[in-house]
Amino acid sequence: MKLFDIAKVPCYCDGVTHSLEKRRGEDVKVLTLSLKVAPFDAKLATVMPDGVKPTLFKLNSGDPKESLRRADFALGVERQQLHVFASPDTDAATRMLDQVRVHGTYAIAQKDRNGYDFKFKATFGPVGRDELEFIQSWLLTQKFVTFEAAEPGMFDEMVDDGETEDDEKARQPIDGRVPMWDDAPTSPATPSRAKPATERAHRPLHSHQGKKKTAAKGKGRRK
């Protein structure tokens, strides 16, 4: 399955980060591109995996839904080949990026126009000097990409949950609860199961001294 089933999709490169990817138990140095398709209309949504178009656009008119500001997608597409062209009229691709993992896919509405930007991450590597120079030339510019499914089974697949940087920042403990592995004091929402120390003061005496007092009282009554 392709991310876009159409040739030469305009993709703007917003940023590039260096990171590590786990492959067959080893950490591999990779590059992650932040790519943007803008403007993103109903025609482009039609050539994407099922679920994208009906989520973002009205089925009858194809207009964007006014009440929708952002939608995150877990598309689950397999690794891709990105054939990158300098322009839509160029016949031969400048570079082919293989085994690219597509993740962090979402669409966000724009205030200055009636439509969306579609954003996603593209992670691949390891890379050599030529690839680094090419990615540097793509940064903050637009190139045109044709997507193809890469050869399957070369790397361990990773689940795409559609997560973005905003999702990670938004993670906070729910209702002020402290995780069970945290060393902080127990919060009011999760009271401790230990009995208060004051309960022990009300327990009956069981000492030998208490038995002696009881025996002395019994002798007094017999007299």
Domain ranges of the chain: 9-170
pLDDT tens readout for residues 42-73 = 999 999 999 999 999 998 899 999 999 999 99
User: What DSSP element (H or E) covers 70?
Assistant: strand 70-73
Average pLDDT value over all residues in the chain? 79
User: In terms of pLDDT, which residue wins out, 199 or 19?
Assistant: 19
Q: What is the pLDDT of residues 93-115, one digit of tens each?
A: 999 999 999 999 999 999 888 88
Assign 167 to helix, strand or coil.
helix
- For residue 176, pLDDT beyond 70: no
Predicted structure pTM score: 0.70
Among the listed ranges 62-76, 128-142, 183-197, which one has the minimum average pLDDT value? 183-197
**Mean pLDDT (whole number) for 25-36:** 94
Which segment of 28-37, 121-130, 199-208 scores lowest on mean pLDDT? 199-208
Token output for 11: 């993709």
Nearest to 18 by CA among 148, 156, 136: 136
- Nearest 5°: phi and psi at 60? -75, -50
Kind of pairing, strands 80-85 and 95-109? antiparallel
For residues 77 and 49, give the distance between their C-alpha atoms in angstroms, rounded to a whole number.
8
d(CA 81, CA 96): 7
- pLDDT for residue 205 is more than 60: no
Between 39 and 206, the more confident residue is 39
